[in-house]
Amino acid sequence: MSAGPVRGSLPPVRDLAHAVLMAVHEGRRLDRELDKALSLAHPRDRGLLAELVRGSLQWQARYDHLITRFSRRRGRPDPAVAAVLRLGLHQLCGLDGVPPHAALNETAELCRRRAGARSVGYVNGLMQNVRRDVFGEDPLSGRAAREARLRPWFDDLKPGSAAWQAAWHSHPLWLVERWRGRHGTAACDDLCAWNNESVPVTLHVRRAAELDATLARLAEAGFAAALHPRVPRAVVVGDGCDRAALTALLAGHPGLIVQDATVQEATTWLVGDAVEAAGPASRLVDLCAAPGGKTALLAGWWPGYLLAADSARERTQLLGDTLKRIEAGDVGVVLADGRQPALATGSLDVVLLDGPCSGTGVLRHHPEGRWRLREQHVTRSAGRLTELAVQAADLLRPGGCLLYATCSLEPEEDEAVVATLLAARADLEPWPDDEGRWQRLWLPHEARGDGFFAARLRRR
């Protein structure tokens, strides 16, 4: 990774951030590139580096609208200059602790090093105009105060329109239009706003008897944690926790799993009745199991034989590492493509299929994901999910259960796959719970967690 000149022996934090943004623009994985950059940064700069990168990506459309409003050039700036501007605007519009004059000076120097001296005047002029016209000379702190100044500069997009929501909440226009059509304008607004909220760490406590001890252990280690108000055995760790320290703590505590509360709730709803009906000889396969969160939740809870499968060797290794950490020695792990599973037809009591999807329910975790996603990806994913569901149904014995799930909010990947499967298989039927529900959608802003779809089917 090129990082420009160094101060002492370490690259400047903004150069590292720019290098990560350019790597992501070229198609490389954010987590991997950010980890590389963090390893090169001074420890005191690592929090700023992560915020610069993730914030610039998260608010990309908002900052691009400001660039359009204040630019004196026609057309979009080239990618290197655009990355410089987004980093500068995030310091000016999105962060406390960076004085405006420092944001402007650092952005101009970053432009000189990373995008060339010819663009410095353009970048500096645009940043100066934003500072003067939007914020004036008043020092501002707090997101609400900054947004109050920013919001009028988006009025040209007609507040409440799809274009306004896409720019203000920084989401792709095609996705906003989809959500408005399905959920309505107000719900779309709430959903997009939720995707820009910070993501606290949520833990699952594998043994209910250890809840109090877990809270005490976290408090002793310096973490502010509390029980989730709706999901049993879910513990929410306060925002801004030291994630490296938490990872180190988890390494020594196999009874704890990092897992969103919605996922915990949905998995319990999906599998709970099957667990009650199962015996020591019952067989369950988690067909697309990596990285292993749901398998880890099931380990020690499922009374019979538990098998976890995934199609990628790297992901299967990650799955094995997860199970090793929680000491789930009785779980089988197999490398297998769910569309051609190395399992006998009609041999399983339960198949859990949480298939690979567009991930539109978990965009708050992946600030770069919203910009890489295309509408055709949803259609392509729906076809793959249908193939997986057909194969999963073949694995069931008579009376066996197919538990289907995605972290997508899109009907093509959710209800449509289930409907296609039911239409093609006369031996499958909905399997309702005690309240008559057999498929459910958790919208993120309503569930206050990840978005999730789940359906319960049974072979006659």
∠ CA 424-355-272, nearest 5°, is: 90
Catalytic positions, please? 407
Of 398, 414, 410, the closest CA to residue 353 belongs to 414
Under DSSP, is residue 404 helix (H, G, I), strand (E, B) or coil?
Answer: strand
Under DSSP, is residue 418 helix (H, G, I), strand (E, B) or coil?
Answer: helix
Alpha helices in 27-78 (DSSP H): 30-40, 46-58, 60-70
Under DSSP, is residue 422 helix (H, G, I), strand (E, B) or coil?
Answer: helix
Radius of gyration of the chain (CA): 24
Which residue bears the tokens 């980890």?
A: 35
Q: Tally Cβ neighbours within 10 Å of residue 447.
A: 21
Which residue bears the tokens 């997101």?
A: 143
Which residue bears the tokens 């204040």?
A: 70
Which run of H or of E encompasses 283?
Answer: strand 283-286
Between β-strands 283-286 and 305-310, what pairing exists: parallel, antiparallel or unpaired? Answer: parallel
Give residues with Cβ within 8 angstroms of 351, minimum separation 6.
284, 285, 287, 392, 393, 395, 396, 400, 401, 402, 403
Taking the CA atoms of 451, 301, 404 and 379 in sequence, report the sign of the dihedral they define: positive
| DSSP codes, 408-424 | ---TTTTHHHHHHHHHH
Q: How far apart are CA 186 and CA 170, in angstroms?
A: 16
> What end-to-end distance do the CA atoms of the chain give, in Å?
57
To 10 degrees, what angle do helices 46-58 and 60-70 make? 70
**CB distance 80 to 22 below 8 Å:** yes
Which residue bears the tokens 């310091």?
A: 91
